[in-house]
Amino acid sequence: MAEEAHSLAIDQVVQKALDDANVSESDLSAVAVTVGPGLSLCLRVGVHKARKIAKSFRLPIVGVHHMEAHALVSRLVNKDLDFPFLALLISGGHNLLVLAHGLGQYVQLGTTIDDAIGEAYDKSARWLGLDMRKGGGPALEQLALEGDPNAVKFSVPMRQHKDCNFSYAGLKTQGRSTDDIPISSATKDDRQIRANIAASFQQVAVLHLEERCQRAVEWALKMEPSIKYFVVSGGVASNQYVRTHLNQIAEKNGLQLVCPPPRLCTDNGVMIAWTGIEHFIAGRFDDPPAVDEPDDMQYDLRPRWPLGEEYSEGRSVSR
Ligand code: ATP
Ligand code: FE
C-alpha cells in the first residue's frame, strides 16, 4: 500500500514543486533523491523518478541519507552553523545523537535500543483516543497543556545505563496499561485523566531526552571542545515543550540551540534538496544515467544505512 501511495503521488508532487518554484526541469543543476534508510519499495519509487528526470535532462544525481538531511537542513536556516556540531535527531523511526564532523562524516554517540520517541508519541496518542489526522505527536502535545505532569508516575528509562542510548518501548507500553498507572491527583473527568496521562508521559519522555543529551554534550565537548551548536531536528523537534527543555540543556552548557522551523523538522523535500546542494557543491555526485539505461534497472538503494560510525569508547566515559 505504501508503495502504491508513493507511485500515485510522485509525478504530481514533483510537478507541484517545480510549479511552486516557477522553474522547469531544464533549469535544474542536479537531482537529489533519498536512497536510504527506509522501505526499499518506497525508496525505489523516488529513485526511479529522479533517474528518469536526470536521464532526460542530462543532470547529475545526488543520493541523500534521510537522517543526514534532517540534520543538515539546520545549516539552511542558520548560515553560521559550521561543523563540528552536536545533533539530536528525533523522529518516527530514529532517536540519534551524533557528532557531525563534516558532510557524510558522523560519529554516533547514541541511538534507540527499541522504539523512537515519535513512535511512543504516536502510539500513546492513539491509545488516548486522540484525533490522529494532524499526527499523534501534535495532538498529544496539545492535550498535555491541560494536564498535570506529576499526576501519573512513569519511570524514566535506562537510568542505570551510563551511556547516550535511548529506550521508548517501556514508556509506550506504560501509557497503555492504565491499571498499572496510579492516578494520584483528583481527576475531574475523562478528558482531565487523559490530559494528565499525556502531560505525565511527555514530561518523562522529554526528561529521558534531557538526561541523554546532557551526557552527549559532555562526551562531544571532550572530543571537540570547539563545538558551539546543538542541533535538534526531526518531526518531534516541532514540539514546543521539547524545544524549551532542550534549549535549557544547550544554555546550561554554553551551546546555542538550532531548531529548524516545524515545517522543516517533519519530513519535507526542502531538506533533501538542501543536502543535495551541500554534496553537489562538495563534488559528491553521480553522473547522469546512461541514455540507454533500461527503465527496470535495479538501483543501488540503502534501506539500512547507519549515519556514521558508532562511538565505541563511549561506555568507558562516565559522568
Ligand atoms: P524517520 O525520519 O525516523 O524516518 P519519519 O520520517 O516518519 O521517521 P518525521 O516526519 O521526521 O518521521 O517525524 C514524524 C514524527 O514526529 C511522528 O512520530 C510524529 O508524531 C512526530 N511529531 C510531529 N510533531 C510532533 C509534536 N508536536 N510533538 C511530538 N511529536 C511530533
Ligand atoms: Fe524523517
Say how many C-beta atoms besides its own lie within 10 A of residue 252's C-beta: 11
pLDDT digits (tens, 9 = 90+) for 181-222: 555 444 556 899 999 999 999 999 999 999 999 999 999 999
Residues with CB under 6 A from ligand 1: 66, 91-94, 118, 121-122, 135-138, 141, 234-236, 238-239, 266-267
Q: What is the pLDDT of residues 77-120, one digit of tens each?
A: 999 999 999 999 999 999 999 999 999 999 999 999 999 999 99
Cα-to-centroid distance, 111 and ligand 2 (Å): 15
Dist. CA 176 → ligand 2 center (Å): 25
Which residue do the cell numbers 519530513 mark?
Answer: 267
Question: Distance from CA of residue 21 to its chain's centroid?
Answer: 25
Residue 33's CB: how many other CB atoms inside 10 A?
21
Site to substitute for ligand 1 among 121, 130, 132, 168, most atoms within 8 A of C-beta: 121
| Residues with Cβ–ion distance below 5 A, ligand 2 | 91, 267
pTM, whole model, 2 decimals?
Answer: 0.95
The closest ligand to the CA of 240 turns out to be 1
- Residue 189 CA to chain centroid, in angstroms? 35
ipTM (interface predicted TM): 0.99
- Look at strands 85-90 and 95-102 and give their pairing: antiparallel
Closest ligand relative to 121 C-alpha = 1
The mean pLDDT of 42-64, rounded to a whole number, is 97
| Dist CA 70 CA 11 (whole Å) | 23
